[in-house]
Amino acid sequence: MEENDRREEFSIRQVTDRTFPEFLHLLEALACYEHLNPPDDTARSRLKSDLLQDHPRYEAYLGRLGDVAVGFVTFFFTYSTFLARPTLYLEDLFVLEQYRGHGLGGRLFDFCRNEARIRGCGRMDWMVLTWNEPSIPFYEKIGAARLGWYTYRLEGDCL
């Protein structure tokens, strides 16, 4: 299949109760790619509840080629007091390996950029793993700036 054919049949749709299992499958593939443990059964239950409630804690969208879910994106909103606007925080963007190199990840990224504009965001933030060499040049090519901030985390008993 040629790239133009893939672009024409590619769609991005919000994850629903019916498509949640496809989302989980892709999330497991991302965990494998990042050498992390996938969500356990309790976390899966929370993921579903947090996504499908009236005021979701995060949003998830599947990228589909025809009927096949080949990638996904998740994001949520924070707030910038200095801009006095929301910030779209891109949590995950993933495309299955066999579908990479055809611009599908870029289309998922552009979807997020557009959502940020539509929703009045002052900026869009995300993190990238230092070893994720395929992504870093893409982000810098589109004008993203690497910030001089350190990322810290509290979890488990320290929280």
* Active-site pick, 33, 79, 139, 150: 139
CA distances for 88 relative to 98, 100, 115, 120, 141, angstroms = 28, 24, 8, 10, 20
Q: Residue for token digits 């009236």? A: 54
Q: Which of 96, 70, 67, 74 is nearest to 15 (CA)?
A: 74
- What 3-state class would DSSP assign to 132? coil
- pTM metric for this prediction: 0.89
**Lowest-confidence segment of 5-9, 44-48, 83-87 by average pLDDT:** 5-9
Task: Supply 53's token pair.
Answer: 């409630």
Task: Supply 113's token pair.
Answer: 């950029």
| Domains delineated in the chain | 3-158 (3.40.630.30)
Q: What per-residue confidence (pLDDT) applies to 139? A: 87
Task: Supply 120's token pair.
Answer: 């009045």
Evaluate if residue 2 carries a pLDDT over 80.
Answer: no
Task: Supply 15's token pair.
Answer: 């994850």
User: Who wins on pLDDT, 20 or 146?
Assistant: 20
Report the pLDDT averaged over residues 77-106. Answer: 95
Whether the CB-CB separation of 75 and 91 falls below 8 Å is answered with: yes
Q: Which of 26, 114, 17, 29 is nearest to 65 (CA)?
A: 26
Decide if 33 is catalytic: no
pLDDT tens for each residue of 34-84: 999 999 999 999 999 999 999 999 999 999 999 999 999 999 999 999 999
Evaluate if residue 23 carries a pLDDT over 60.
Answer: yes
